[in-house]
Structure 1
Amino acid sequence: MSRLSQRQFKLPFVAAAALVGFLASGAPSYAADKTSFRMVRSPALNTSPSCVPYASAKVKIVSTGEVETMTVDVDGLPPNTGFDLFVLQQPNAPFGMAWYQSDIETDQYGHGSVKVLGRFNIETFMVAPGSVAAPQTQPGAAASNPATAPIQMYHLGIWFNSPADALAAGCPGAVTPFNGEHNAGVQVLNTSNFDALSGPLLKIN
């Protein structure tokens, strides 16, 4: 048998053996490419029982490898009202680092949905190798950033876009920086149903 024919004969066997070994070794499961989970009513609202008592949200994340698609569906919120979605370091105050991800507008039934693309997985992080000047295009914006090593961020939070809308819904009227103009209302939903240091974005790896 020639060298070529020997190689042709052995390759299928080698490939099959490698596949069996790969499966038997407990290789990473592709189930980690997608996940779904629920957000819960913010614990900060427990002292305001009339504030969005039926608020809920379901999140689905699907990874293509290069990017994730995250779909957020909210229910039980005031109708025709604006909300703001953030990725967070921790779900409850003082939250740590946060970044503005999207708006969510509810319909006449208090339902809203948004689909966003980004990195929503075990590698999601914020970093600032040094302090530099920052644009001050909105009220309250910092003039510079604090330097920080990479900070992993695995939680989500949703805020009223307006303190007036929060008050109308029987919620506290506090002003928070969690919208594009830094004059949002209170947080209504978050992922505090997960451990503070093990948020649900960790499910995608």
Structure 2
Amino acid sequence: MTHDPDAALLGRSPGLGEEHFVHDGLITKHPVRAIALAALRPMPGQVLWDLGTGAGSVAIEWCRTDPSCRAIGVERRSDRAANARANARELTLPGQFEVIEADLTDLTDLAGRMFHLPAPDAIFIGGGATRDLAEHCREALPTGGRFVIHGVTIEAETLLTGLHAEWGGELTRIGIENADLIGRLHGWKPARTVVAWSWTK
């Protein structure tokens, strides 16, 4: 893990390698993260909600684009929330990234918390999206707000194709293959295909 809160060492461009984060293996991989940030389009002074933040990698990359950017991460698992906070200490400035422990499936709890959060300019969901959650996020965004959801399951793909059909936006499938050993030689090992939906209000 690298200590670089002001982005002086690793720079501000998205796509930091996973080795710079504390995580349990479930982390948005760096090429997919770079694609997510391109769709989220962070701008100085803006706020991101990263719902289901996990290790906080997307929120952290958002914050690193400009010192005035802020992010709120919501994570139901306390161990992952702890990882996100540790990553925030090492890779963002103090006060840039706040992590809240809450269950995204409890919309009553989440709606109450949303009321007290800084209004978002963009929202990212990297896993666990539901139709009800998407509706809440749509209402929370201002005109011009960006909404990006990624998923790797059949259920997530069904949800995102439905949102695309109803709300529009852009729907993309992302397939990435990395070189890997096959005995003494090399071959391509595919990662799970990611379905990405992005929409601007």
Pairwise same-fold verdict (TM > 0.5): no
Name the structure with the higher helix share: 2
Computing the radius of gyration from Cα coordinates, the structure with the larger value is 1
Q: Which has the higher contact order (CA 8 A, sep 6+)?
A: 1
TM-score normalised by the chain length of structure 1? 0.23
